[in-house]
A and B are shown apart, each in its own frame.
Chain A
């Protein structure tokens, strides 16, 4: 079983790779090669940094088409920027068109936190995840478990039904979205200790169906 971790030059992919290996993934390839991605059985789409850089890196590496293909037919896990990039657009960098797999907008946290100086941006640290509905990737993870977040923008999907998990920072926001074979987390499972590793382990055995 092969997993492709998509490498477009944005962020620390070694952590994702190591965590997947740690939970028993037999073959993990960190790659920007569309052929390797097409051949992989599962896809992990991580990312850090600014959205404009991410989108231009995806175009530069000619990954937009292959992403579009694999998001339709196999288990797909987006992480952090890899979640935000799935939306229609982001307000970051004065507005950037993203991949548009899901309808919705990525917005700055100041909208939620207001002027409260105690609510720092980036939202950094361990926050509770409220599981909105049952999902195979939540197997073995208690509701309200804490995961590690670091981000300044949050996903605001048009369709509430996409939201699989919520967290609170100033106000409630979508911390996990998903539909069909696609699942995406704003937090970093690869940095979220045992619960994060459990989620990655669940991903390895997930058949891509939203509910079992």
Chain B
């Protein structure tokens, strides 16, 4: 196999600051994305994801400066998402130092954006975020629907077909979040993740629902995730990245250490 399964801490950003902060021992500023990024880098995170949760136009400039500051200090891949609406938005984030840009709502409103951005900058930097909820189907053969606006707006689009289509038009990676599981701490929706991972052909990041380290293992083994994204279990100091990697390695999963 060779390539390691990745662990990606995800930070919510508001006005250039990490929302609710991150708890590290001795941290001077728990909301500073540069310091947190540096800490996670040192702790062994494989990538970092920053999601701008307000994504207002006035704060774009703040976000660009934040990305520049983090990219000057942290030399692992950085993904930036939230409010990416155009090829120009993608370019600004890449120029600021993001390695990948995550596109969500705009991909649904304007699917050509993914194709255009991938053609312009390469698939390797285009992540499509798929927020999905169970809807219809049966327990044995479930279906999921794409939602937008933090899981509030249904789109009527089948999530697995959508993910497959996004990979075809140029997404180099898929960030799949179960809106049923997000914030529940009961584990990923591994049936959803597996359905997408097995069909889309591009790397899939599992997100939504992590409450303990076994959930990360399940995400890889049952959900076929290439990477696992988590927020609270790392931010609030419950587990370190090293503990997560030790646990995954003990379950036979290849990790970078």
B125 near A48 with CB under 8 A, answer: yes
A49 near B121 with CB under 8 A, answer: yes
Select the stretch in A119-127, A176-184, A204-212 that faces chain B: A119-127
C-alpha spacing A168/B5, complex, angstroms: 14
Known: A118-B224, A121-B202, A151-B124. A126 touches B4 (CB 8 A): yes
Chain B neighbourhood of A48, CB < 8 A: 121-122, 124-125
Chain A neighbourhood of B77, CB < 8 A: 148, 150, 191
Known: A148-B77, A191-B99, A193-B41. A125 touches B121 (CB 8 A): no
Closest Cβ of chain B: how far from A203's Cβ, in Å? 15
A128 near B2 with CB under 8 A, answer: yes
Chain B neighbourhood of A148, CB < 8 A: 76-77
A197 near B75 with CB under 8 A, answer: yes
C-alpha spacing A190/B72, complex, angstroms: 11
Is B256 positioned at the interface, with any CB of A under 8 Å from its CB? yes
Is A12 positioned at the interface, with any CB of B under 8 Å from its CB? yes
C-alpha spacing A128/B71, complex, angstroms: 24
B75 near A125 with CB under 8 A, answer: no
Chain A neighbourhood of B124, CB < 8 A: 48, 122, 124, 150-151
B173 near A124 with CB under 8 A, answer: yes
Known: A14-B97, A49-B122, A193-B41. A168 touches B2 (CB 8 A): yes
The chain B residue sitting closest to A169, CB to CB, is B2
Is A11 positioned at the interface, with any CB of B under 8 Å from its CB? yes
Q: Which of B32-47 contact A (CB under 8 A)?
A: 41, 46
A196 near B202 with CB under 8 A, answer: no
Is B54 positioned at the interface, with any CB of A under 8 Å from its CB? no
A120 near B202 with CB under 8 A, answer: yes
Known: A15-B99, A169-B2, A193-B41. A124 touches B75 (CB 8 A): no
B3 near A126 with CB under 8 A, answer: yes
Chain B neighbourhood of A12, CB < 8 A: 94-95, 97-99, 125
Closest Cβ of chain B: how far from A6's Cβ, in Å? 17
Q: Interface on B for A, CB 8 Å cutoff? A: 1-6, 41, 46, 71-73, 75-77, 94-99, 119, 121-125, 172-173, 198, 201-204, 224, 226-227, 256
